């Protein structure tokens, strides 16, 4: 299951993390966000123990999305050692996201 990232735990869970973290910025009212949610959950299972897969509810946690200029959702940010290394805006497939994650893992 994808980890819930909040404004309060973002620094500890993402910025201070060594390795790869994938964040899905979403909202309850967003149709494409609901479409991508099962993909995020599958990736969380697939990469359990290797990559932090997290979800940030933009309505409940406004600070992190504002810091990274998130204007459209869903937006996926991929972090490596606390730095943003990749970004995807809008719906995408599980295969495309897995490819982006694998690229960061290989570059480790």
Active site residue 59: no
Which residue among the candidates 2, 5, 23, 33 is catalytic per the annotation? 33
Sheet holding 3-4, edge to edge: 3-4, 52-57, 20-26, 75-80, 83-89
Active site residue 33: yes
Which residue among the candidates 7, 9, 13, 30 is catalytic per the annotation? 30
Beta-carbon neighbour count of residue 98 at 10 Å? 15
Classify 80 as helix, strand or coil.
strand
**10-41 burial code (b ≥16 CB/10 A, e <16):** beebbeebeebbbbbbbeeebeebeebbebbe
Tokens of 3: 């980890």
The residues that are catalytic are: 30, 33
């Amino acid at each position: 299951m994808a980890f819930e990232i909040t404004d309060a735990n973002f620094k500890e869970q993402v910025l201070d993390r060594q390795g790869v973290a994938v964040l899905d910025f979403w909202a309850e009212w967003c149709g494409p966000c609901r479409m991508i949610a099962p993909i995020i959950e599958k990736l969380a299972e697939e990469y359990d123990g290797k990559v932090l897969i997290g979800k940030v509810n933009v309505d409940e946690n406004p600070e992190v999305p504002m810091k990274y200029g998130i204007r459209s959702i869903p937006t996926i940010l991929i972090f490596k050692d606390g730095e943003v290394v990749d970004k995807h805006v809008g719906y995408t497939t599980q295969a495309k996201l897995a490819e982006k994650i694998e690229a960061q893992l290989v570059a480790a």
